Amino acid sequence: MPTVLKEASHTFNEYLLIPGYSSKECIPANVSLKTPLVKYKKGEQPALSMNIPMVSAIMQSVSGDKLAVALATEGGVAFIYGSQSIEAEAAMVARTKAYKAGFVVSDSNIRPDQTLKDIIELKELTGHSTVAVTEDGTAEGKLLGIVTGRDYRLSRMSLDQKVETFMTPLKKLVTAPEGTTLKEANDIIWDYKLNSLPIVGKDGKLRFFVFRKDYDEHKKNQNENLDSKKRFVVGAGINTRDYAERVPALVEAGADVLCIDSSEGFSEWQKMTLEFIREKYGDTVKVGAGNVVDAEGFRFLADCGADFIKVGIGGGSICITRETKGIGRGQASALLEVCKARDEYFEETGVYVPVCSDGGIVHDHHITLALAMGADFVMLGRYFARFDESPTSKVLINGNLMKEYWGEGSNRARNWQRYDLGGSAKLSFEEGVDSYVPYAGKLSDNVQRTLAKVRSTMCNCGALSIPELQKKAKLTLVSSVSIVEGGAHDVVLKTKQ
């Protein structure tokens, strides 16, 4: 007969936190969200940590290099998606590591023989009013001039007028040579009252822009997640098929941490992958594993040498693993059991293996619940897919701006390495859907708003750190009627415009 667990499988929505005593020191400004990213021994510090407990999902529609920079700026870590060629993934990692805060690679570029109409279309596409005019129309081409909103008037100019006739030419621009520091660049911007400063190489090719509007932004980013060389920390996804070729390329590109991307991690395939990395690199290469939903799965991966372990099967908004295969577990139940096993493992071995809660996050308060239940950080897909920095396009659906979002188990992603269980190189059936999510603007604005809620709730529980929250948290299961009571009810809501 099968083993049958007596307790029902619960989700985050079925729990609430009971407030605890809050001292006068319990204010959001005093809350620390610093958390370990990889395992460490008792009495030691982890080799990698984060300033906020958020990482991005290893997904085509979520984690490119642009989002990696934005998330590291806020203090988290993005995991570049692995369902692409080794060369393409390594290039994304390298671009993230090469990014200099304040130095922006131009994404609005045009040739001098193009027209005002092309300028207008480019502005509509990128939303940026500063356009670099380069010899070949690329971000790395020889700089010939720039076009801003001050260089043309639609009411007085023909749309087919050539860019070279109205651009501000290079000889009239203030530029700076490659190697200029951010402080020097900002000094030039203020001295010459510029809105932007092109950084140009000795070969005359455009390297970066430094913008006046970014000055205050860089000043306030105190949470940036940086390595010892002041570069952004970035992660990368790997699979259990081509790891012998992919891992060395990603390490060479500068990846700080890797993660095995799999819908179910309690397998010999993950053990083989971890053994390869440990034999080749020892403990110098950090790698997470998963996903699991019980103590047995956690123990297996911890003993195999995983640096962190992901929890969750079938709880993602685009995941249909539970529907198609009948495997998984409610995220709250899975997390509570695994985190208990994590603490027992720490007591027995003196090694603390961080737990990542992956999936099941619908509302911001679910993040706080996940942390209270024992998670060291959460992995988010749908959440980050909504932002400007995700790799997908904005589309207009029924009058509303949306962004495309699809699962790695969908036919669109065609990520057979994640799901094939060692079988043939194809997807036999889908475990994910293709969808849209409401467009939500900039990552920084949304992350700061979300974490403000997390800090506030932690203060309600009398906790100023994540470990303190886990120690003090009191959780209660709620009934379906209680859930209804918790929202707006018995009123007529005003229509939101």
Token pair of 218, please?
A: 């860089």
Q: Answer whether the bond into residue 291 is a cis peptide, omega within 30°.
A: yes
Provide φ and ψ at 366, rounded to 5°. -65, -30
- Please report, for residues 48, 50, 232, 269, 287, the alpha-carbon distance to residue 224 in angstroms, rounded to integers and kept in the order given: 13, 9, 8, 35, 22
Q: Residues 314, 333: contact at Cβ < 8 Å?
A: no
Please identify which of the residues 26, 259, 304, 319 carries the catalytic annotation: 319
Q: Is 128 exposed, middle or buried (0-12, 13-18, 19+ CB in 10 A)?
A: middle
Alpha-carbon distance 146 to 210, whole Å?
A: 13
Decide: helix, strand or coil at residue 123: helix
**Measured between alpha carbons, how far is 248 from 306 in angstroms, rounded to an integer?**
18
Q: Are strands 77-80 and 54-56 parallel, antiparallel or unpaired?
A: parallel
Burial level of 9, CB count in 10 A (0-12/13-18/19+)? middle
Active site residue 418: yes
Q: At what angle do helices 268-281 and 243-253 cross, to 10 degrees?
A: 50
Amino acid letter, 207:
R
Strands 35-36 and 196-200 turn out to be: unpaired
Pairing of strands 257-260, 286-292: parallel
| Catalytic site residue from 418, 455, 459, 461 | 418
Q: H or E element: which one contains 438? A: strand 434-438
Q: Would you call 329 a catalytic residue per the annotation?
A: no
Instruction: Please say whether the dihedral angle defined by the alpha carbons of residues 473, 298, 236 and 384, taken in this order, is positive or negative.
Output: negative
Q: Which residues are catalytic?
A: 319, 418
